[in-house]
């Protein structure tokens, strides 16, 4: 268990190395501030003796000035100390946040999908905040007060070691009790943080589905769900407070007992004449003074444990396995993609979504995937850029297994457009050049012309500078799809995958886009999923999928004669 604490401290120290300047300055100003406070207190006596007792009244005018100077210096040093310490703690927290964010981007897509998004957000934002107090106040307390305790202990032992030991008889109870309560606090803090994550998740989920909620009569059920989660959070927060405060009360109780034992026994010794009242008083003062820093240390320890509770959740993310690629740089397909005996299921507990698929997707040709809803079309294409890996079998690009290819270069080969494309809360321009930061204005306009997006963009008052999602601007589904297509046209990656990419675009515009796509067919590998079969009849190869298996493949004319399912799909959708 203590290893965990050490590991946590080691991690924090590692981050602190990036902030040596504020750490150093913070410590210097903290020493200066203590020094000035000490100097101020100490110097009053000699100054007053010098001015009043020794009657150097001509110096009297400097006394108020001296006091103002001391207070000003103290104020300034405290300000600088607080500023640099805060800069240290916030800097460390931000570095942890950035590392967590980077880590999230390297996690496998499947893992990110399974993780509740609110929990991930909460780990990056809330859990890191929980560590902040330990970086400032608690660590300073632990260092400073431990020193104070040691000095006072020295004084007390020097006076009467036997009585000191007697007074400290309650110390083991304090140490053990604080440790026990610290562990409890850490556990409760961890659960409280998980509950905060759950609340974040629920809230964002509810806001995403707000239309359904407003229409449904189930509003009450959701309110109950949220209230239940809040109740859980409330109870856990109280638990943390209970343990934290219990640790304080324990120290107070033990101080009282220790003091009582000392007074009781010391009193007997005085009555017996074995101890002088002066020595007893000085010992009692030292012992009572020791308990104050001990109380502070106990509090700081509980703070450390709380921070550790939050850290455990952060560490869970850092410990997650990153997605791994191979070392061979992927290049444009020459032959195509080959799926050999590929099966896939999203989870061991779920049935297979793809079952023993053997397939060639030829390079620089148009391949279409058709099949009823849930047949596995989208799943199949998401295996190509390795969003998921097959559960069985292997996929090759030309003659190389995908797993041996460097991930970034492999993914760089693809441009994908989905039915519900994702656009960032940025300007239209920034959304487009995200895929090609070096693109010229003319290239961007040309890509938009290709995807039939230029007219509607230019009709907006701020044109390409329009920020999406702001000033009430929400694009229609079709407009989003056209922007997503423009992104693909802008970059022109060797492999273009369109998954119901034109489903929300009217037939006339869709036809214009299709003719733009036709110009890419010669030197790009096109993979298209569409329900409207009119869009895919020109494909060089059509693959019919049903319940995760390939039912048939061929050209449109071949399949019309060969495949009853294709015929059925064609007649349902084309007319």
Ligand X SMILES: Nc1ncnc2c1ncn2[C@@H]1O[C@H](COP(=O)(O)OP(=O)(O)OP(=O)(O)O)[C@@H](O)[C@H]1O
What's the rounded Cα separation, in Å, for the pair 251 and 269? 26
User: Rounded to an integer, what distance in angstroms lies between the CA atom of residue 296 and that of residue 255?
Assistant: 13
Q: What is the DSSP string of 124-182?
A: IIIIHHHHHHIIIIIHHHHHHHHHHHHHHHHHHHHHHHHHHHHHGGGHHHHHHHHHHHH
Q: Is 376 in the site for ligand X (CB under 6 A)?
A: yes
For the CB of residue 361, give the shortest distance to ligand X in the complex, in Å. 16
Q: Does 371 bind ligand X (CB under 6 A)?
A: yes
Q: Hunting for tokens 């309650």 — which residue is that?
A: 170
Q: Does residue 349 bind ligand X (CB under 6 A)?
A: no
Identified binder of ligand X from the candidate list 172, 209, 264, 374, rule CB under 6 A: 374
Smallest separation, CB 364 to ligand X (Å)? 24
Burial (CB < 10 A; 0-12, 13-18, 19+), residue 196, is: buried
Q: Pick the stretch among 225-233, 261-269, 358-366, 368-376 that binds ligand X (CB under 6 A).
A: 368-376
Task: Compute the least distance from the CB of residue 505 to ligand X, in Å.
Answer: 17
| Residue 378 interacts with ligand X (CB under 6 A): yes or no | yes
Round to whole Å and give the CA distance between 491 and 494. Answer: 9
Within positions 103 to 122, which residues make up the interface with ligand X, using CB under 6 A?
A: 113
Instruction: Give dist(CA 512, CA 405) in Å, integer.
Output: 36
Return the number of the residue (304 or 345) whose C-beta is nearest ligand X: 345
CB 112 within 8 A of CB 104: yes
* Minimum CB distance to ligand X smaller for 244 or for 377: 377
Report the nearest approach of ligand X to the CB of residue 419 (Å).
7
Which residues have a Cβ under 8 Å from the Cβ of 512 and sit 6 or more positions away?
452
Whole-angstrom distance, CA of residue 366 vs CA of residue 362: 8
For ligand X, the binding residue among 375, 457, 495, 544 (CB under 6 A) is 375
* Helix extents (H) in 273-406: 277-318, 377-382
Residues with Cβ within 8 Å of 90's Cβ and at least 6 positions away in sequence, in order, are 132
Interacting residue with ligand X among 138, 379, 525, 535 (CB under 6 A): 379
Q: Is 390 in the site for ligand X (CB under 6 A)?
A: no
503 is a contact residue toward ligand X (CB under 6 A): no
Determine if 373 is a binding residue for ligand X (CB under 6 A). yes
Q: How far is the CB of 346 from ligand X (least distance, A)?
A: 3
Binding flag, residue 339, ligand X (CB under 6 A): no
> Distance between CA atoms of 24 and 32, rounded to whole angstroms?
12
Instruction: Verify binding: residue 572, ligand X, rule CB under 6 A.
Output: no
| Cα–Cα separations (whole angstroms), residue 173 to 178, 258, 274, 289 | 8, 11, 29, 18
The full length of the chain comes to 575
Rank residues 113 and 241 by Cβ distance to ligand X and give the closer one.
113
Strands 495-499, 525-529: pairing is parallel
- Selected from 11, 225, 265, 346, the binder of ligand X by CB under 6 A is 346
From the list 147-155, 261-269, 377-385, 558-566, the region that binds ligand X by CB under 6 A is 377-385
Which is closer to ligand X, CB of 254 or CB of 359?
Answer: 359
Three-state DSSP at 392 gives strand
Q: Which x/- pattern, by CB under 6 A, does the window 63-102 give for ligand X? A: ----------------------------------------
Q: How near is the Cβ of 382 to ligand X at its closest, in Å?
A: 8
Please say which residue, 141 or 379, places its beta carbon nearer to ligand X: 379
Question: Which parts of this chain interact with ligand X (CB under 6 A)?
Answer: 113, 346, 353, 371, 373-379
């Amino acid at each position: 268990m203590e290893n965990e604490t050490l590991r946590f401290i080691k991690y924090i120290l590692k981050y602190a190395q990036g902030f040596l300047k504020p750490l150093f300055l913070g410590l210097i100003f903290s020493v200066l501030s203590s020094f000035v406070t000490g100097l101020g207190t100490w110097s009053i006596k000699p100054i007053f003796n010098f001015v009043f007792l020794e009657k150097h009244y001509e110096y009297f005018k400097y006394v108020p000035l001296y006091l103002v100077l001391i207070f000003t210096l103290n104020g300034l040093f405290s300000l600088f100390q607080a500023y640099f310490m805060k800069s240290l703690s916030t800097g460390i927290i931000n570095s942890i946040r950035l590392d967590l964010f980077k880590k999230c981007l390297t996690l496998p897509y499947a893992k990110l999908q399974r993780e509740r998004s609110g929990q991930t957000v909460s780990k990056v934002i809330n859990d890191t905040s929980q560590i902040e107090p330990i970086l400032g106040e608690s660590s300073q307390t632990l260092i400073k007060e431990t020193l104070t305790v040691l000095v006072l202990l020295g004084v007390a032992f020097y006076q009467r070691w036997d009585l000191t030991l007697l007074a400290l008889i309650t110390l083991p109870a304090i140490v053990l009790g604080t440790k026990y309560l610290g562990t409890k606090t850490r556990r409760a803090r961890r659960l409280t943080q998980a509950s905060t994550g759950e609340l974040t998740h629920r809230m964002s989920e509810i806001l995403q589905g707000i239309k359904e909620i407003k229409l449904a009569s189930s509003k009450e059920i959701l309110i109950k769900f949220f209230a239940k989660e809040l109740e859980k959070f409330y109870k856990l927060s109280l638990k943390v407070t209970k343990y934290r405060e219990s640790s304080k009360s324990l120290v107070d109780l033990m101080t009282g007992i220790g003091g009582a034992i000392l007074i009781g026994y010391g009193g007997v010794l005085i009555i017996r004449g074995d101890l002088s009242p002066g020595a007893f008083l000085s010992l009692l003062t030292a012992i009572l003074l020791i308990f104050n820093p001990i109380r502070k240390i106990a509090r700081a320890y509980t703070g450390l444990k709380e921070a550790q509770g939050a850290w455990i959740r952060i560490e869970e993310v850092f410990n997650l396995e990153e997605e791994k690629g191979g070392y061979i740089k992927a290049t444009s397909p020459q032959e195509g993609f080959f799926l050999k005996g590929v099966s896939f299921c999203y989870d061991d507990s779920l049935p297979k979504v793809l079952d023993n698929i053997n397939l060639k997707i030829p390079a620089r040709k148009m391949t279409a995937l058709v099949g009823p809803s849930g047949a596995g079309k989208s799943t199949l294409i998401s295996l190509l850029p390795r969003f998921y890996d097959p559960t069985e079998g292997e996929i090759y690009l030309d003659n190389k297994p995908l797993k041996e290819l460097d991930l970034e270069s492999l993914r760089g080969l693809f441009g994908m457009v989905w039915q519900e494309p994702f656009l960032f809360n940025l300007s239209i321009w920034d959304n487009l050049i995200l895929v090609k930061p070096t693109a010229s204005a003319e290239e961007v306009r040309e890509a938009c012309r290709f995807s039939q997006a230029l007219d509607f963009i230019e009709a907006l008052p701020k044109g390409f500078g329009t920020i999406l999602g702001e000033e009430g601007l929400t694009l229609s589904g079709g407009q989003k799809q056209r922007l997503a297509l423009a992104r693909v046209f802008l970059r022109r990656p060797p492999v273009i995958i369109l998954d119901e990419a034109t489903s929300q675009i009217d037939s006339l515009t869709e036809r214009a886009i299709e003719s733009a796509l036709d110009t890419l067919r010669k030197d790009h590998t096109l993979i298209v999923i569409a329900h409207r079969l009119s869009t895919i009849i020109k494909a060089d190869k059509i693959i019919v999928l049903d319940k995760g298996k390939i039912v048939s493949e061929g050209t449109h004319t071949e399949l019309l004669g060969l495949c009853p399912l294709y015929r059925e799909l064609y007649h349902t959708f084309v007319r």
